[in-house]
Structures are given as C-alpha cells and as structure tokens.
Chain A
C-alpha cells in the first residue's frame, strides 16, 4: 500500500518526546541503562526550546549542609510552601552530579579567580549543541522536525506515539515500551525567546491518555522585555530604573515584585521605559559577557541600554517560567498512567519551587534532574514489561481525528483565529496577571466553547495541521489554567487574585486538575515531612 510505504514506523524501548535539556538528559540516561531510545523533536534537538537560544543559571549547590539549607529556603516561602524537602534534596544531588558530568563531557565552564571551574550557569547554544552530540554518541535515534501529535495506548498503558515530519510530510509512528514527555511548557505563541515551539502539546497528549496535571494555576509568568524584542532575559532589570515618556520616575516599578506596577501602567496606556542606569561602571563589561544575548537586540538597533531609555513590555511565558505541569506519581517521574513519564517544564515543578517562578536556576536544575529520573524510570519500566511487549493492541488517543494530507477539516485561517482567540483570553494583564473570579469565569466559558468546536475537527499531517493541533493544546492548557485558578480562592506564589488578596492557610494544598470535555479540579495535601536536623 502506498500510504504504508510512505509512513515511517519504528519500534523501540523508550520514546522521548522533546529534545531540550529534559528530553536529552532522559534519552542519555535511559540509553545508559541499556534501553534502545528514539527521541522526536518538533524542531531540531540542539537549537529548539527555551534553553537553546539563551542560557540558564543553574541551581548548583555544593553538598554542604548549610549551603543546601539556604538554597532550599530561598524560594520555599515565596512559593507558598508547596515544595517538598525530599524532592529538593534529590534535585540538588542530581543537578550537582549532572553539572559535573557536563564538565566531563567537555562543556567549557569558565574559570574563577583560583582557576576552578565555575559551574553555576550554562550558555544555551553551547549546552544544547553538546547535548545533541552526547545523545547521538549514546546511540539514540533522533527524529528532528517531527512533532508528536498523539500518544498510543492500550489497557496496559502508554505504548508509543505518532506524529509527522513537517519537512517531508511523512507521518511517523514509534511503538515503545515507555514514553517520556519532555515537550516543555506553554508560552501561548507569545514569541518569548525560543518559546514558540512550546504550545502545551505534551499536556494535552498526556491528558488524552488519562494523566493528571498539577499546579496549573501557577502558569502566568510574564517577563520584562524591550517592547520590540523577543529577548525575555530578566536578570539585569534589577539594575534598571523605570521612567515615563516625560522622564519622571515610575515609583515602585521593578523586575520582581514591581512588575505589577509596570503592568498597571501599560494597561492604562502609559508606556514605561527602562534604563540600566543603576549598574556601576566597572560592572558593565561583566554584564556584557555574562548574558551576551541580552545585548544583541540593543546592539542591532544602536541602543545603549545603560544610558538610553527603551520601551518595555511584559511578555507572557505561561508555564515556561511558571511551575504547573503534568502531575508526577513517583520519584522516577512516572505520571498517573502506566508507561508514561514526564520531565522538565512539561511536568509540575511545584515539588521544588512551589508556586513561585522556577526561572533563574530551579527550572534548569529540574530539567536536567527530572530528565535523568524519567530516563531511569522509563528504562526500568521497560525491563519489567518484558513479555507483554510483543502483543499490544495500541489505539490512537487524540481527541481530534488525525488524518492524511488533504482530508483535514481546519482551514489554516481558522487555526490562526483559534490561536488569536486563546491569546485574547490569556495575554491581557487584567485577565491573567490580576485575576478575578468574574473575569476568569468569562474567559473559561469562551475557551470551553472554543474547545467544543476544535474537538470535532480532523487534523491533517501537514504544517498547517500541526498548527491546528497546537491551537487545541493551547486551548486545553488555558482551560486547566483557569479551572485551577478559579478553585484557588486566595493568592499564593505567582497566582494573584484581586478578589482574594491574602494567602489562606486552609488552602495550603496543591490543586490537581484534568479532563478534556468536562474538567475537574481537586486538592491534594502536600506530603507531611519530618524535618531531620
């Protein structure tokens, strides 16, 4: 049959979906445990995702008791005390080991005054180019430009995925003993740096297979960024002053808590300008080399950000620098569905930073450590599965039928309208940053209507089909986000309710959500821990 010949069909032990830090660490670790591994990325493993074009500070803390306690305390209260010590300990240990491993693989860490390698940050292009090399050396089969569109499962659990190569138009299917979802977060196509491949696909695919999500109310991270630019690097704004057009200072504006002041001004139509005029002279050259890409857009426009005011905006990064994601059921990053694992931004990061942003160090540490946990978990699961493996009766799990080219029912223009419709509900600061029950209920109702339209539509194996599926994933993500945010009638972490300003001790729990047509949400107690001193 012509169609059969046209399709690519592979069989493997572990399939990793997504090739950012989490996916590459999962692939390398599973391969080291003896598993055969296939890794499929929507873009190109090595340049795709949130880390590749920029770089990350990493939660790398020497195994010294005092330093570790300080590190764990740093975001514990800000995150609304939803993190768990045993997870923080495991992630700190594994991150320390993995960063040292990166040095072993040849990552060129800078040397400090005493000539020791300083292993606290990773430059994205260098890091991800190295990870691709290591993944290939481990014998992993990489499928680039191959977005997964749906999972395959039977009564034993998840057993593979299917998608399409967007450059050749050839559909692919990978049967696997276990699948790791490492598709990153969802930034709602806002063009934040490197984030337009991150549309919540993994959340939707996992939920379609029966997995649950956690912390989806912590999904409204906004980053300060020059209005014209994609570069959402925020660390240096702690050296900024913020001004109005006429040169008067914007009182209370800042990179962390002062973001809301900037948002309120922008909402009222008053442009805010930033200048990094708080940076001392002798620090400037250091800043330049620390985060080179921060300066790239300025250099190209001939702006000196230390002296020239430039307009700023807040760009939505959604769950990428938020913390919500797929709920984890054990310490090897298993989800609630057998055979399905989740890592990186695709998984919840509440376990290490609660409801406060994981950007700046925690998310990068989480990506590499949860990636390795998931790789180990998936490889062990496949070994145990053994005999079942040959005789599976896998079904496609997508809500929307996925069909061959020419048989789809979504016009490209309609898919673009869907994207716009979701963005209209999630981008505005008066909907998603300053949250109220009334406004979120309105948004949720419209998003539910959108989902009802989308769920019926056939998606085809083309570039446009992939876009329509992304729009559905964004819709689903936004619905879980507002469903959880409505259920949390308090302010905690990055979730700020204007109608419930304070933190409520009776809501010191995590919120689990799920469902496709009918959504549900329920509280889950944070594990009680004995703190051993």
Chain B
C-alpha cells in the first residue's frame, strides 16, 4: 500500500491525484495527502508517474506498515520503480525496449522444465 509522501520532495503537481486508478489521494490546501489509504490496490502507478520520486508504495497488499523516509532514501527505494521502467528523466532506454522476452522465449523452448 501507499505509505509515504515525502513532503520535502513533493512539488504539489497533482499528477498522482490524477493517475491513481482508485482515487487514493487528495490535494488539501496545496498539500498532497493520502486520503483513502484503504482503497490503495498496490499497483505502483503513482510512483511511476511522480516526477520527483516523492512517493513510496510498500509491497504489502493487505496491511499498512511503518516506513521511515530516511531509511528508504538510504536504500535507494524512492523512485526505484520509475528508474526500473526507464521513466526517470535522462534514462537511456525503457523497460519495454530492454524487454528480454525474445531471448527468454527462445531459451524456454529448449530448456523449460516440464509443468507438473
């Protein structure tokens, strides 16, 4: 679930309010708030779209957990998903273009273990 808005980083652009499919965020007096955390579907889309890597979605789907901004920063977690899919400004290539499915498919044709 969505756990963190870094107030230090957030520029109040409202993009996450727009793109969140389940309408979790609100803008209140120019400040972004997580208004309906229980509606979060843990889809990571807000992180992909936030232009300044201010959001963190924890991997737990069914429960809320404590997170520390400092620790997440230290672990390089803020913005890691946007970087992974190649949406960070200045990225050389996107996840789509790096997609290894062609090699994977060729490989599995010969090596895939039998399904039980």
Q: Establish whether residues A197 and B96, one from each chain, have CB atoms under 8 Å apart when the complex forms.
A: no
Tell which of B22, B45, B115 touches A52, judged by Cβ atoms closer than 8 Å: B45
Q: Establish whether residues B85 and A299, one from each chain, have CB atoms under 8 Å apart when the complex forms.
A: no
Residues of A within 8 A of B44 (CB): 53, 293, 296
Taking the complex as formed, is B33 at the interface, i.e. its CB lies under 8 A from any CB of chain A?
Answer: no
Question: How far, in whole Å, are A110 and B59 apart by their CA atoms in the complex?
Answer: 28
Q: Establish whether residues B59 and A297, one from each chain, have CB atoms under 8 Å apart when the complex forms.
A: yes
**A191-B42, A230-B41, A293-B44 known; A238 and B115 CB under 8 Å?**
yes
Q: Establish whether residues A254 and B116, one from each chain, have CB atoms under 8 Å apart when the complex forms.
A: yes
Residues of B within 8 A of A2 (CB): none
Shortest CB distance B4–A (Å) = 12
Q: How would residues 270 to 291 of chain A score, 1 for a CB under 8 Å from any chain B CB and 0 otherwise? A: 0000000010100101110110
| Segment among A41-49, A338-346, A364-372 that sits at the interface with chain B | A41-49
Taking the complex as formed, is A533 at the interface, i.e. its CB lies under 8 A from any CB of chain B?
Answer: no
Q: How would residues 11 to 50 of chain A score, 1 for a CB under 8 Å from any chain B CB and 0 otherwise? A: 0000000000000000000000000000000111011110
**A47-B45, A47-B49, A126-B95 known; A191 and B22 CB under 8 Å?**
no
Residues of A within 8 A of B21 (CB): 42-44, 47-49, 52, 194, 196-197
Question: How far, in whole Å, are A112 and B105 apart by their CA atoms in the complex?
Answer: 11
> What number of A-B contacts does a CB cutoff of 8 Å give?
154
Shortest CB distance B27–A (Å) = 10
Question: How far, in whole Å, are A197 and B22 apart by their CA atoms in the complex?
Answer: 7
Q: Establish whether residues B116 and A121, one from each chain, have CB atoms under 8 Å apart when the complex forms.
A: no
Tell which of B48, B97, B116 touches A253, judged by Cβ atoms closer than 8 Å: B116
Residues of B within 8 A of A287 (CB): 100, 104
Q: Which B residues from 78 to 96 make CB contacts under 8 A with A? A: 80-81, 84-85, 87, 94-96
Question: How far, in whole Å, are A107 and B95 apart by their CA atoms in the complex?
Answer: 12
Q: Which A residues from 105 to 124 make CB contacts under 8 A with B? A: 107-110, 112-113, 118, 120-123
Question: How far, in whole Å, are A296 and B115 apart by their CA atoms in the complex?
Answer: 25
Q: Establish whether residues B115 and A196, one from each chain, have CB atoms under 8 Å apart when the complex forms.
A: no
Tell which of A46, A57, A196, A463 touches B101, judged by Cβ atoms closer than 8 Å: A57
The chain A residue sitting closest to B81, CB to CB, is: A296
**A49-B21, A53-B43, A191-B42 known; A230 and B99 CB under 8 Å?**
no
Taking the complex as formed, is A166 at the interface, i.e. its CB lies under 8 A from any CB of chain B?
Answer: yes
Q: Establish whether residues A110 and B96, one from each chain, have CB atoms under 8 Å apart when the complex forms.
A: yes
Tally B residues with Cβ within 8 Å of A: 45
| Segment among A81-89, A151-159, A255-263, A511-519 that sits at the interface with chain B | A255-263
Q: Establish whether residues A300 and B58, one from each chain, have CB atoms under 8 Å apart when the complex forms.
A: yes
User: Looking at chain A, what size class is its interface with the partner chain?
Assistant: 35 or more
Q: Which B residues from 53 to 79 make CB contacts under 8 A with A? A: 58-62, 77
Tell which of A144, A283, A299 touches B18, judged by Cβ atoms closer than 8 Å: A144
Taking the complex as formed, is B37 at the interface, i.e. its CB lies under 8 A from any CB of chain A?
Answer: no
Q: Establish whether residues B59 and A296, one from each chain, have CB atoms under 8 Å apart when the complex forms.
A: yes
Taking the complex as formed, is B111 at the interface, i.e. its CB lies under 8 A from any CB of chain A?
Answer: yes
Q: How would residues 66 to 109 of chain A score, 1 for a CB under 8 Å from any chain B CB and 0 otherwise? A: 00000000000000000000000000000000000000000111
Q: Establish whether residues A296 and B84, one from each chain, have CB atoms under 8 Å apart when the complex forms.
A: yes
Question: How far, in whole Å, are A391 and B80 apart by their CA atoms in the complex?
Answer: 55
The chain B residue sitting closest to A297, CB to CB, is: B59
Question: How far, in whole Å, are A46 and B94 apart by their CA atoms in the complex?
Answer: 17
Tell which of B45, B85, B98 touches A110, judged by Cβ atoms closer than 8 Å: B98
Question: How far, in whole Å, are A286 and B99 apart by their CA atoms in the complex?
Answer: 8
Shortest CB distance B52–A (Å) = 18
Shortest CB distance B114–A (Å) = 9
Residues of B within 8 A of A254 (CB): 115-116
Q: Establish whether residues A286 and B22, one from each chain, have CB atoms under 8 Å apart when the complex forms.
A: no
Taking the complex as formed, is B20 at the interface, i.e. its CB lies under 8 A from any CB of chain A?
Answer: yes
Q: Establish whether residues B115 and A123, one from each chain, have CB atoms under 8 Å apart when the complex forms.
A: no
Shortest CB distance B57–A (Å) = 8
Shortest CB distance A347–B (Å) = 21
8 A-B residue pairings within 8 Å (CB atoms) = A43-B20, A43-B23, A47-B45, A113-B102, A125-B48, A126-B85, A238-B115, A283-B107
Can you list the 9 inter-chain pairs with the closest CB atoms, starting with the nearest?
Answer: A43-B21, A254-B116, A297-B59, A48-B21, A118-B102, A230-B61, A230-B42, A196-B41, A108-B97
Q: A107-B96, A167-B17, A283-B104 are in contact. List 7 more A-B contacts (CB 8 A).
A: A57-B101, A110-B101, A239-B113, A278-B113, A283-B111, A286-B103, A297-B59
